[in-house]
Structure 1
Amino acid sequence: MVMVTRLRNGERWATLTLTGGGLALVLGLATAVSSCAPAESPAAGQALDTAELEAYRTTVEGVFMTDRGGTTSGYAACVMCHTWQTSVRFSLETPDSDAGWSAEQSRRNFDVVSQLINTADPEASRLLRKPLGAGAGGLTHTGGTYWTSPEEPEYVALLEWIESLPDDRFIPAAEPEVDFEFFSACVQRVFADPREGQLRCSNCHSGGLAGFAPAPAGGDAWSEEEAQLAYRSLSRLITPGDPEQSRFLLKPLHPDGGGAYTHNGPRRWQSRDDPEWQMLAGWVRGERTGASCS
């Protein structure tokens, strides 16, 4: 049995307990665990009929609640991370009970999940590609690999569910291009310029999946190759067009200012009004391009 407790102002707020029989929920001082409501999706307001809701709850939320035998990458149930531990686009409500979500919660969860599917091209859906192994065409996933091939039963069940929806119902908007030139001229400067009393980003983010800030090998400036590698690493942590859903901007942001609950490093920004945060947000939205940082 593993218990995960969230604290607010030093007091127990909610506890999730993962047991061999499933997920049990013990509520502390509040009934909701997410500190911020998920952004409304383009699909919000498209009401599900009874049959659609039941198919979603059985097929999709059943996968989210599956006990995978642990709490580490590749073994944790989806619900262990994608409720109170995350504030990015895949942020579900805290289950109403150990049996799962209420019908009303499921409707709200569906509005979140609908942002992760593409009914015009089901196999391109992030809901399918994030937990899929890289060798099978998957995307980088902090939670690890759940499926090594698209032939695994869970993958097939979710794919068939997406294919059962009308082709034109949930089609993601085109993402803006996030400019590499602005990254190399302006964004990388942030990594080498710590705030007073704080570490440089490169002290921690010099390698691995989040190695977007390695120190320059040849002095004070990054080579083109180093900048390209850093840009590709950072691309895993941003959602083009949506800075409020980008981990790169949420992790170093103080929770009181809308940031992520967890970050092993310092909180570089206290609020989204910080000029540096605003500059980086403009870059993620595709608005900042070129070599001018002013």
Structure 2
Amino acid sequence: MGRSSAFFAVVALLLAPGLPSARAAQQGGGAAPAMLDYEVFKARVQPILMAPRKGNARCVSCHATGGGNSYLEPLPAGSTTYTEDQTRRNFERVARLVAPGEPLKSLLLLNPLAEEAGGSHWHGGGKHWQSQNDAEWQALAAWVKTRADAPAASASAARPVAAPAPPPASPLDYDAFKARVQPILMASRKGNARCVSCHATGGGNSYLEPLPSGSTTYTEDQTRRNFDRVTRLVAPGEPLKSLLLLNPLAEEAGGSHWHGGGKHWQSQNDAEWQTLAAWVRGTR
């Protein structure tokens, strides 16, 4: 669905008291597929990810290249379909982009959806759906809302999804963001680029303002806008459901398996990761 390097894994992990071990985090991440219907994925969802896009590349063209934002298997040479084993692996990865039961919290549905229709403001591959009433969007929403032990489709699942209500005020602390979080996003990275180097370029994965020429700090207005955008990468109270913390975290430590900018934190005990987690939890 695009070349954005920051997409964004939704891993269904429940936050236990203290920090879970990498093994526990990985076991938690495997729970999401069991809540979603594999047969519906195979019959209705995967074909959407392979469908031609007028004016845009197919999802599979960008998200099966093996890069940081890949969640689909590369197609065998000369093939236009996936094997059963590949489809199973696709299902497991795509499930990480889904919040079961909640289409409007599922990156698979948000990123390619027009912002004015309730979608995210980023997607390097363009916006495929201008409305939540689009037939493809509706098919994905029905899959997300249907548990594996429920009928694969229902009349209620086929109804158009109501437009989202205006978002409530953020429960996240702006002053803590300004003092402790934003500096992390601007910090130097040994062997990797700074977050601001890739995520403030104006592309599909930008969530930071471009720095003024010659400046090393943000203005108050820019910081406010950064706060508004970065909070979209956070599930308040749940660090292990927050993309801001998952994507740059090593997979063996419970992070996502993709991040084009490399893995900045090898452990959840890293001081920066702990700072971000405290902000997400609302602790001081």
TM-score if structure 1 supplies the norm length? 0.57
Q: Tell me: CA distance 1:235–1:76, structure 2 relative to 1, closer, same or farther (3 Å).
A: farther
Greater displacement, 178-187 / 95-104: 95-104
**What's the counterpart of residue 148 of structure 1?**
130
Q: Which amino acid aligns with 2:222?
A: E
Distance in 1 between residues matched to 2:189 and 2:100, nearest whole Å: 44
Greater displacement, 128-137 / 228-237: 228-237
**What's the counterpart of residue 61 of structure 1?**
46
Q: Give the CA deviation at 1:208.
A: 2.8
Instruction: Say which structure, 1 or 2, has more relative contact order (CA 8 Å, 6+ apart).
Output: 2
Q: Is the 8 A contact 1:191 1:213 kept in 2?
A: no
SS at match of 2:53: coil
Q: Tell me: CA distance 1:86–1:243, structure 2 relative to 1, closer, same or farther (3 Å).
A: farther
Q: Which amino acid aligns with 1:101?
A: Y
Greater strand proportion: 1
Q: Tell me: CA distance 1:250–1:153, structure 2 relative to 1, closer, same or farther (3 Å).
A: closer
Over residues 59-113 of structure 1, what are the superposed CA-to-partner deviations in whole Å (9 max), with x where a residue is unaligned? 10001112336xxxx61221233342235xx823444562333223323433343
**What's the counterpart of residue 80 of structure 1?**
61
Q: Give the CA deviation at 1:134.
A: 1.1
**What's the counterpart of residue 174 of structure 2?**
180
Structure 1 gaps of 5+ residues are 1-36, 170-175
Instruction: State which of 262, 277, 282 in structure 1 corresponds to 2:277.
Output: 282
**What's the counterpart of residue 3 of structure 1?**
none
**What's the counterpart of residue 100 of structure 1?**
81
Q: Is the 8 A contact 1:132 1:145 kept in 2?
A: yes
Distance in 2 between residues matched to 1:239 and 1:133, nearest whole Å: 21
Distance in 2 between residues matched to 1:243 and 1:162, nearest whole Å: 20
Q: Tell me: CA distance 1:276–1:77, structure 2 relative to 1, closer, same or farther (3 Å).
A: farther
Q: Say yes or no: does 1:234 pair with 2:230.
A: yes
Q: Give the CA deviation at 1:221.
A: 6.5
Over residues 92-146 of structure 1, what are the superposed CA-to-partner deviations in whole Å (9 max), with x where a residue is unaligned? 3444562333223323433343444456455654432321111212123333200
TM-score if structure 2 supplies the norm length? 0.58
Instruction: State which of 85, 91, 94 in structure 1 corresponds to 2:71.
Output: 91
Q: Which amino acid aligns with 1:144?
A: G
Number of aligned residue pairs: 233
Q: Is the 8 A contact 2:233 2:242 kept in 1?
A: no
**What's the counterpart of residue 17 of structure 2?**
none
Q: Which amino acid aligns with 2:42?
A: R
Give aligned-pair identity as a percent. 27
Q: Is the 8 A contact 1:64 1:79 kept in 2?
A: yes
Q: Tell me: CA distance 1:224–1:93, structure 2 relative to 1, closer, same or farther (3 Å).
A: same
Greater helix proportion: 2
Q: Which amino acid aligns with 1:230?
A: N
Distance in 2 between residues matched to 1:145 and 1:108, nearest whole Å: 25
Q: Which amino acid aligns with 2:115?
A: A
Q: Say yes or no: does 1:159 pair with 2:141.
A: yes
Q: Give the CA deviation at 1:156.
A: 2.9
Distance in 1 between residues matched to 2:27 and 2:189, nearest whole Å: 30
Q: Give the CA deviation at 1:269.
A: 3.8
Q: Give the CA deviation at 1:57.
A: 1.1
Instruction: State which of 25, 29, 35 in structure 2 corresponds to 1:40.
Output: 29
RMSD: 4.7
Distance in 1 between residues matched to 2:84 and 2:67, nearest whole Å: 22
Q: How does 1:4-43 map to 2 (within 5 A)?
A: 40-43=29-32
The structure number with the bigger radius of gyration is 1
Distance in 1 between residues matched to 2:197 and 2:142, nearest whole Å: 45
Q: Is the 8 A contact 1:119 1:163 kept in 2?
A: yes
Over residues 226-268 of structure 1, what are the superposed CA-to-partner deviations in whole Å (9 max), with x where a residue is unaligned? 32211123334556635697367746x79999885633xxx69
Structure 2 gaps of 5+ residues are 1-25, 152-169
Distance in 2 between residues matched to 1:149 and 1:187, nearest whole Å: 34
Q: Is the 8 A contact 1:122 1:159 kept in 2?
A: yes
